[in-house]
Structure formats: structure tokens, C-alpha cells
Amino acid sequence: MAQRPAAAAVFVAAAVVALLLLPPSAAAAPVGVNWGTMMSHPIHPSAVVEMLRANGVDRVKLFDADPWTVAALAGSGVQAMLAAPNDQLASLARDPRRAREWVRHNVTANVNAGVDVRYVAVGNEPFLKSYNGSFINITFPALKNMQRALDEAGFGQRIKVVVPLNADIYSSPENKPVPSAGSFRKDINTLMVDIVNYLHANDAPFVVNIYPFLSLYQNPNFPLNFSFFDGATKPVFDQGMVYTNVFDANFDTLVWSLRKAGVPDMRIIVGEVGWPTDGDKNANIKYAQRFYNGFLRKVAKNIGTPLRPGRMEVYLFALIDENQKSVLPGRFERHWGLFTYDGKPKFSMDLSGNGKGNLAEIKGVQYLPSQWCVFNKDTKDKYKDLPASVNYACSNADCTPLGYGASCNGLSHDGNISYAFNIYFQTMDQDVRACSFGGLAMITATNASQGGCLFPVQILSASGRVVPLIFWPITLVMLVSVINLL
């Protein structure tokens, strides 16, 4: 339906005002960012939005529609992708009224408050193989109900419903590992054909999450250089196309899958792409900077891929490290951020792709006192309690930097114990009771950091309280590695 002239004039005027609100560099920003909030000590959303604007970031992808976060975007000129998490899919699929309520509370209310909502994501990677089909029968009905709700609310032309999907929904056969052989997974092929045709009919894009790091992590024989964009690898040839990196090959495998599903011209958004900086031997600052430098240059030059040359819309993953994420996929899961837990850039990086700038940090972050909790070496008679104490600390705080190949992997026996004690102490807001461990620990004003291993001092939580930790089951590999350090 054509937009009424008056409404169009208001919309254009609002867009102009939004552009004027942004710093000059924003017009050239080629990328958006994923803003996750699964951390024990969140930074105030308004400070995060100020940092986004200072860096010229004009788009964010969220994983929910939490009012505290979304409200900070009002009047900022930063476009938002809101999301209904996977645990809401069943109710959204079952009852159209739930979708209407969701739109009223999270879309209408926020748009009226000045939030520039552009997309609504229904679920997040709901067809992951690890979910064992839990969301296969409810995602499409939820998608359709959400689309109808947006249409009824008058947003259907402006705000598009999408389903961010992991790249594991398509692949090429092992005996022909080239993009042109790619297609959607057999178990969901019929469903995917229905979904992509429905999205296309509603002029909505296909949102895909692509992780070159995971190709390297999941396959010990994967060629390292094929993960990056500097051409230092043996190319792959496919029907006249030349592939020098796994990102292009993966993206074009999706293009071929869409062709075979009957939507060859469907617009594609890369919903997540990035490189972690800790928690694995290949998750480090050096590789992350190499990846981003090449990727951002590629995006800035509008190179695209062999099958889809030109401009790409992408969202980097992720904004800030999240110490409450599940470590079941790997210890690196908590270290995808471009920024550390306290809002500081991890390395020199220019989002424009020109390599001439650097990220502005988040301002106004306040820290707890400069004190650390460390192992009290004088309590030798209590050594028998060490494994249980360290296990308790690492079950309730983030000890992933202690894992094999991670940033603190080289600590001594006593250093490992001190790290575990300190990270728990900091997570618990430096409560003196959190630095006891039956007399095994003590508080010190001497910085306990060692070499390249940072013993952090926690920040003041902007929420005014410690966010309760999510007790993800510690993986067997991680538990064994921590105990072995003792």
C-alpha cells in the first residue's frame, strides 16, 4: 500500500533530523553491531548509545526488547532490530493475540517514544541442530502471526519481520564442497522453502549468521588462512568463481540455496559476523584484528562476494563481552565483544574500513575499589579444600580465560587459584564474604595481574545490583582442565 503524502513527509523529516543528530562519521558507517546484555554488571544503556553515536554506528541488533535497553535508543538516530526470544515462539505461534500484544508493547510503544525500529526478529537461530528440532514446528507460525500483527498495527510496510538463522541450515555435500552444490538441510528443506518465499513476498530480507572462526574451531584440519581476507591461501574454484576465504564461500552457498528455493534475488543481511578474543587457542587479539581489518576493508569497498558483488549489510558480533553466556558451544562464547567488560576497545579498529581511526570507548564507567582476592599461601593445612573451592568459584563466575590456549593459560598453580578466587570476588561486588573460601583466600591492594593475564576489577553495575548469575552447567572439559591446574 502506498504511503500517504503527509505521513511520508513526516517520516522523511524525522529521518533528516535523525541524520543531523549523528556525528559526521556516521554517514560512512558500513556496519551495525549486535548488542547483547548477558553480563553480570551491565553498563548503563544510555552510555552505550552515546558510544555508538560517537563511533558512527547507526544500526543495532538486539536479542530481546528489554525496555531498559530499547528506551535508550529513543531519539538517537540508531536503527534497531528488536527480537522475540526463542522461549516466546510457542506462545506467539499458538495465539495471534500474543503477537498483537507483543507488537503493541514493544513496537508501537517504542516507535511512539522515538525509537527507530526497522526489524523484528522472531527467534534466534531456532533451527540449530543442537536444539534437536525444538522450534521447527513453531517458528513459521510465530513469524506469520507477528507479520499479521505488524500489518494490523500499520507497520507492515516499514518494519520487517525476520528470522536470524545460523549457517548450519545449509551446506554442500562432503564429496563436493563448493558453493554451487549447496542447498538447505534436508530435514528442513521444505520448511525453509516456505519461509523464504513468505519473507520474499513481504519484502523482508534473509538474515544469516556466518562465523569463519567456527569453521576453524570445529575442524582441526581447516586451513587457517582461509578464515581471513588477505589472500594468503590456496583458492577454491567453482563454476568460474574464485574463493579465497570461507566467508565468501559460505555466503554464496546460501545464495545457491536461495536460488534452488526459488528466490534468487532475495536480499541477504549478515546478522552476525565476528571473531572472539579469548577462550581458545585461535581466539585472540592478533587474529581478531586480522579478521576485522580484512572484513571491514571488504565491506567499505562494496566488494561483496563472487555471486553477490556490491554493498553488504552486516552486523558485527558483538559489542561487549558477556560473562553470563553459555559456554556449551565453547569457552570463547563469552569473548566476542569489540569492547571489554568495562567498555574499552580491545584493539585498534576503524569501522569505516579505512584503517585510519579507532573506536571511542564508553564514558563514565565507574569501578569498584582497586583490590583483589588471591590465594593465601600460608594456609597449607587447608590444601585439601582447594579443588572444591576453585570448582565453586568457577561454577559461579567466568574462569574461561584459564582454559587451554586462553589468555591466562600460562599461570602457575597458585596463579590459577588466585584467578578463580578473584573473578568470583569481583562478580560478587567485592563482598568480603566472597573472599574467604574457608580461609584459603585473602584481599590485597596489590594488582594481582600477571603478564598477559588480567585480573579484573569489576565495574559498578548500572542496574544498581548484581545481576543473578545463570548457572550454566560447566563443561566436563573445562572442569577437568581447571582441576588439573591444581
Residue-level pLDDT at 477: 40
Catalytic residues: 125, 272
Q: Which residues of 26-47 are buried (b: 16+ CB within 10 A; e: fewer)?
A: beebbbbbbbbbbbbbbbbbbb
Assign 3-state DSSP to the chain and report helix, strand, coil percentages, each to 5.
40, 15, 45
Whether the CB-CB separation of 352 and 29 falls below 8 Å is answered with yes
Q: Are strands 441-444 and 372-375 parallel, antiparallel or unpaired?
A: antiparallel
Residue 99's closest CA among 136, 154, 158, 143?
143
pLDDT tens profile 439-482: 999 999 999 999 889 999 999 999 864 444 443 344 434 444 45
Residue-level pLDDT at 381: 73
Residue-level pLDDT at 30: 61
Residues of the chain with pLDDT under 70: 1-30, 380, 464-486
Please report, for the chain, the start and end positions of each structural domain, with discontinuous segments joined by +. 26-339, 372-462
Fold of 26-339: TIM Barrel (3.20.20)
Residue-level pLDDT at 213: 98
Beta strands in 123-164 (DSSP E): 160-162
pLDDT tens profile 65-105: 999 999 999 999 999 999 999 999 999 999 999 999 999 99
Residue-level pLDDT at 14: 38
Residue-level pLDDT at 277: 98
Residue-level pLDDT at 464: 62
Sign of the Cα torsion 293, 294, 296, 302 reads: positive
Residue-level pLDDT at 231: 82
Residue-level pLDDT at 475: 40
Strand partners, 161: 120
Q: Are strands 206-209 and 241-243 parallel, antiparallel or unpaired?
A: unpaired
The 3-state secondary structure of 258-285 reads: HHHCCCCCCCEEEEEECCCCCCECCECH
* CA angle (484 as vertex; 478, 486 as ends), nearest 5: 115
pLDDT tens profile 188-226: 999 999 999 999 999 999 999 999 999 999 999 999 999
What is the C-alpha separation between 332 and 142, in angstroms, rounded? 31
Amino acid at 72: A
